[in-house]
Structure 1
Amino acid sequence: MVQSLVHIALVVKDYDEAIDFYTNKLHFTLVEDTYQEEQDKRWVVVSPPGSSGTTILLARASKTEQEPFIGNQAGGRVFLFLGTDDFWRDYNEMNDLSIEFVRPPKEQDYGIVAVFKDLYGNLWDLVQFNENHPMFNRVK
């Protein structure tokens, strides 16, 4: 059996501002942006640069009960983890682009990590794994 995690839905306020943030600040690739007429919504998928794994589905809140989850999908804990092959390159560029880091870089047993906010306030880890970590070969 072969299975994979294909998409993670991220609730957003506006498709275009989310696309702008992910493609221009995090350099994600816009994989798909398709209008779905029958549901009057868009299917918007982005992916980290060079990645062939899981993608993010930018899902605009379409019901009032979804709106409180914009920027708080995980109740204030780190929700997504962006692996990198060069922590300091990405950290410095993200700082230059005014991305807010809420926890500074820290060396851990598994690598180096810092926590940043996306445009709505969801928390992300920016992480570069050490060579001996099982995730190392997935992000190089």
Structure 2
Amino acid sequence: MASTVSPARRIGLTTLVVRDYDEASAFFIDKLGFALREDTLLSPDKRWVVVAPCASAGGGLLLAKAANEEQRAVIGKQGGGRVFLFLETEDFARDHAAFHAAGVRFREPPRQEAYGTVAVFEDLYGNLWDLIEHRAPA
């Protein structure tokens, strides 16, 4: 089968279901140092809130407030108990220390893997993330 992959494709946003727009954006901005890219009121109960790492030119997180009980049930469980999001850094020690000082909960101490330095942390709802600095190619 011939490939139809376009080099122009990329993942733009990842939706993260949250309890509250303001508490979620505050966590990502104040604790992880993300930037607020957009906060647009769509209706009295709905906003388009996008946050992303400051240096990120690519994708970000669309913070989507749970609108019903089914959506509220997945808050903090979007990865099914597995690491679900990966935050890449060029300076693991700096970011790990800053996150720790900001009160971010790490599930483990940093560890060395074949691909780089990594530690699992939780966001404000308990979703699991990897903070990772990839090893430079040999």
TM-score by length of 2: 0.92
Distance across 2 between alignment mates of 1:14 and 1:115: 24
Moved over 4 A (4+): none
Corresponding position: 1:42 with 2:47: yes
Which amino acid counterpart does residue 75 of structure 2 have in structure 1?
I
Structure 2: unaligned runs, 5 residues or longer: 1-5
3-state SS of 2:94 partner: helix
Partner of 1:66: 71
Which amino acid counterpart does residue 28 of structure 2 have in structure 1?
Y
Distance across 1 between alignment mates of 2:100 and 2:35: 20
Q: How does 1:95-114 map to 2 (within 5 A)?
A: 95-114=100-119
Q: Which has the larger radius of gyration?
A: 2
Equivalent pairs, count: 132
Q: CA deviation at 1:128?
A: 0.2
Q: How does 1:74-89 map to 2 (within 5 A)?
A: 74-89=79-94
Coordinate RMSD, CA, aligned: 1.2
Corresponding position: 1:5 with 2:32: no
1:124 is matched with which residue: 119, 122, 129? 129
Distance across 1 between alignment mates of 2:66 and 2:45: 12
Q: CA deviation at 1:110?
A: 0.3
Partner of 2:3: none
Distance across 1 between alignment mates of 2:26 and 2:59: 20
Q: CA deviation at 1:40?
A: 3.2
3-state SS of 2:107 partner: strand
Corresponding position: 1:29 with 2:15: no
Which amino acid counterpart does residue 32 of structure 1 have in structure 2?
E
Corresponding position: 1:18 with 2:8: no
Structure 1: unaligned runs, 5 residues or longer: 134-140
TM-score by length of 1: 0.91
